A = this chain, B = another copy of it.
Amino acid sequence: MKKTSRQLQKEQTKELLIKTAFKLFSERGFLSTRISDIAGAAGVSHGTVFVHFPSLDALMAEVIEVYVGKIAQRTHELADSGKTLREVLCAHLNGIQEYEPFYTALVTENRQLPPPARDAWVTLQSVISLHFSRAVQRETEAGKIIPIPTSLLFNMWLGLVHHYLANTDLFAPGGKVIERYGETLIDNYLKLLASKGAE
């Protein structure tokens, strides 16, 4: 039990640091969050951060891995096989929504982040891409969608969503872009895709 108590303490602190870092990353972005900010906000000393993470990059990598994992997991669950494209897009936005500011920071800064962080980001896009592609294929075969290369369709959707997120300050100054525009984006995007013959 003693053991458990210590381990618990350590895990709690690490978790606290990850949560705090997540919060700060969401609020201020990755690049302008300092280790001392995280330590301060978590109420621990500067050095404690280095007890749990060998470097700032490692901390970033871990935080991103954890939350990107959650988002991916969420999307996965919602966008199960056999769903329509609309359902997949919903799942995508739903997966993002809970962590919107964090995801936005990732959209905005991922190219300046250390490699492991970038990797996690790229992986996330792949997961989404997979579900998207399957749904598109099914609907294309069913003649419901204009025949356009799937990759282009995907990039168009991703570009659209990321554009709205990246310009949160313009579209929804208080945050919550997805809540405000999500349905609109899906509706109109699907409208465009709808096969002309299907009308």
Contacts and interface: CB of A to CB of B under 8 A. Distances in A.
A149 B111 CA distance: 31
A112 B111 contact: no
Task: Identify which of A31, A152, A164 gathers the most chain B CB atoms within 10 Å of its CB.
Answer: A152
Given A108-B111, A170-B122, A159 B149 contact: no
A34 to B, nearest CB: 15
Contact of A31 (B112, B163, B184): B112
Q: How many copies does the complex hold?
A: 4
Contacts of A156: 156, 159-160, 163, 188-189, 192
A8 interface: no
B152 A163 contact: no
A12 interface: no
Interface string A157-170: 01111111010001
Interface in A56-86: none
A2 interface: no
13 contacts: A31-B31, A31-B112, A146-B191, A148-B188, A148-B192, A152-B188, A155-B160, A156-B159, A156-B163, A159-B161, A159-B162, A159-B163, A162-B163
